[in-house]
Amino acid sequence: MSARTWGFKSPFAHPQMATLTSPDRLVLRAPRLLDGTGAAPVSDAALLLDGGRIAYAGPAAGLPSADGVVDRDFPGCTLLPGLVDVHVHLVSSAGPDLAADLPAVEADRTLAAVANARRQLQAGVTLVRDLGAPGAEAVAVARAVEEGTIAGPRVLAAGPAVTMTGGHIAFLGRVADGPDAMRAAVRGNLAMGARCVKVIATGGVLTRGIDPREPAYTQPELEALVGEAHRLGLRVAAHAIGEGGVAAALRAGVDSIEHGMFLDPAAIELFLATGARYTPTFSAPHGILAGPSVPSWIKDRARPAAEAQGASFRAAVQAGVPVVAGTDSGTLDNPHGGVAREVAFMVEAGLDLLAAVRAATAEAADLLGVPDRGVLRAGAHADVLVAGGDVAGDVTALQRPAAVFQDGRQVA
Ligand SMILES: [Zn+2]
């Protein structure tokens, strides 16, 4: 007989998960519901959660009769899918100097990742993609969340980012040069447990040397990496700030461009031709430029990218490029759990509010290969954020979680 049958609680289970476990069937009601697809808000709404899945989502009037089900009303609130952040670094904790602040020992970095995962969940984030760690830290967190031994969002982890000799952010990655080494890097990450790939296609703001606007890898190197990743069923995210690197990465077939602060018409055409998603990461330069202790050489490198970002974003949105929400959380003064604020930045930059919510829910989950999350519809996983206000009227209400459900259980 299994331990579970005896009601044994694992000593590794996070106490919050144990104490807040909800009944199998649950009705949630609120004056508003946004389903994550960009559809118009539903008024006087209800959700029926059953066995970790959504059994009904829509107007309360259409709710199937459900006798003996716990019924919870959230006056003044909005029901939404749990939020998705497609770009985080769980090992790092948003200090002013990323390289220096990263714990030197893998065990300590893993503990930091566990704490940061919990912060994400408490902010209503139920799914993240981790885009770079020195080793298997985020992969371990992903497995522990799946097994239910720690509290955190579901994690799709890239493992170490793949970067060239002299390239950006080698301390969150592995160095590879030449097409064969690119293929080997993908296989090495796969062996570690990675379920997606991150490649550094241009210089970066946080790394001296190669300029953020300059391409890093050659076309054959990028094509070797993407070809191998796709052959193995792994999607690829490319860090790319300058338009040349963006175009090279898109021509190689990457699935998303991270940052993309400098976009020209040719890059936008390539987005449309390939169907790749665009993750503008407004939170990243915002943290760098607003952070009081961030070194001035980093601010100087970030400023031109930050200044170009709004115009690039508006041009991409107008052209119909699909955008997703990613924060680069963990980087300088960019704390975990900030994707609700990223949504607000997108709205400030001109994106329609419902499209911005979609970028942090259905669109993002689809990019991560889990289209049955990030959406409130019958059959989807019961990941739900109850936001403390009318999100359709005030996007900042997303930053005030009233309750969070993951696979049908209340976790915050
Ligand atoms: Zn990043």
Confirm if 81 and 35 have CB atoms less than 8 A apart: yes
- Ligand 1 center to 198 CA (angstroms): 9
| pLDDT, position 157 | 98
Confidence at residue 24, expressed as pLDDT on a 0 to 100 scale: 80
| CA neighbor of 113 nearest in space, from 105, 389, 41, 229 | 105
Measured in Å, residue 123 CA sits from the centre of ligand 1 at 19
Is 70 exceeded by the pLDDT of residue 23?
no
Residues in the chain: 412
How many whole angstroms from 31 Cα to the centroid of ligand 1? 37
Largest Cα separation within the chain, whole Å, is: 65
The CA 68 to ligand 1 mean position distance, Å, reads 46
Is the alpha carbon torsion for 20, 24, 29, 30 positive or negative? positive
The band of 323, judged by pLDDT with boundaries at 50, 70 and 90, is: very high
Nearest to 46 by CA among 69, 17, 19, 22: 69
Q: How far is the CA of 238 from the centre of ligand 1 (A)?
A: 10
pLDDT over 90, % of the chain:
91
Q: DSSP for 45-65, please give it.
A: EEEEEETTEEEEEEEGGGPPP
Q: How confident is the model at residue 22 (pLDDT cuts 50, 70, 90)?
A: low
Residue in 48, 83, 82 with CA at minimum distance from that of residue 62: 48
Residue for token digits 């160095």?
Answer: 175
The burial of 344, by beta-carbon neighbours within 10 Å (0-12 exposed, 13-18 middle, 19 or more buried), is given as: buried
For residue 243, report the distance from its CA to the centre of ligand 1, in Å: 18
Ligand 1 center–CA 103 separation, angstroms: 17
Q: Which of 403, 321, 397 is nearest to 355 (CA)?
A: 321
Residue 408, classed as helix, strand or coil, is coil
Higher pLDDT, 207 or 132: 132
CA of 407 from ligand 1 middle (Å) equals 27
Which pLDDT score, from 0 to 100, does residue 67 have?
79
Task: Please tell me the least confidently modeled range out of 40-49, 94-103, 159-168.
Answer: 94-103
Distance 17 CA to ligand 1 centre (A): 29
Cα of 330 to ligand 1 centre, how many Å? Answer: 8
User: Ligand 1 mean position to 329 CA, how many Å?
Assistant: 8
Cα(89) to ligand 1 centroid in Å equals 6
pLDDT at 214 over 70: yes
- 32 CA to middle of ligand 1, Å? 34
259 CA to middle of ligand 1, Å? Answer: 9
What distance in angstroms lies between residue 364's CA and the mean position of ligand 1's atoms? Answer: 16
User: What's the 75 CA to ligand 1 centre distance in angstroms?
Assistant: 37
Residue owning tokens 């930059």? 349
Determine the distance separating the centroid of ligand 1 and the alpha carbon of 132, expressed in angstroms: 7
C-alpha 159 – ligand 1 centre gap (Å): 12
Ligand 1 mean position, distance from CA 63 (Å): 42
Average pLDDT over residues 21-47: 92
pLDDT band at 151 (very low <50, low <70, confident <90, very high): very high
Mean pLDDT calculated for residue range 348-356: 98
Structure tokens at 401: 């979680």
Ligand 1 mean position, distance from CA 331 (Å)? 7
Q: Model confidence over 239-295: pLDDT tens digits?
A: 999 999 999 999 999 999 999 999 999 999 999 999 999 999 999 999 999 999 999
pLDDT at 99: 87
What's the pLDDT at 196?
98
Look at residue 11 and tell me whether its pLDDT is greater than 70.
no
Among 118, 131, 225, 231, CA closest to 177: 225
Report the alpha-carbon distance of residue 372 to residue 381 in Å, rounded. Answer: 6
pLDDT for 6 equals 32
Residues 174-191 have pLDDT tens digits of 999 999 999 999 999 999
Please give the distance, rounded to the nearest whole angstrom, from the Cα atom of residue 280 to the centre of ligand 1.
11
d(CA 402, ligand 1 centre) in Å: 29
pLDDT for residue 406 = 97
Q: What percent of the chain has pLDDT over 70?
A: 94
* pLDDT tens digits along 44-68: 999 999 999 999 999 999 999 877 8
Mean pLDDT of the chain: 94
> What integer is the mean pLDDT of 335-354?
98
Residue 338 alpha carbon to ligand 1 centre in Å:
14
If you measure from the C-alpha of residue 131 to the centroid of ligand 1, how many angstroms do you get, rounded to a whole number? 6
Using the mean position of ligand 1's atoms as its centre, give its distance from the Cα of residue 215 in Å.
17
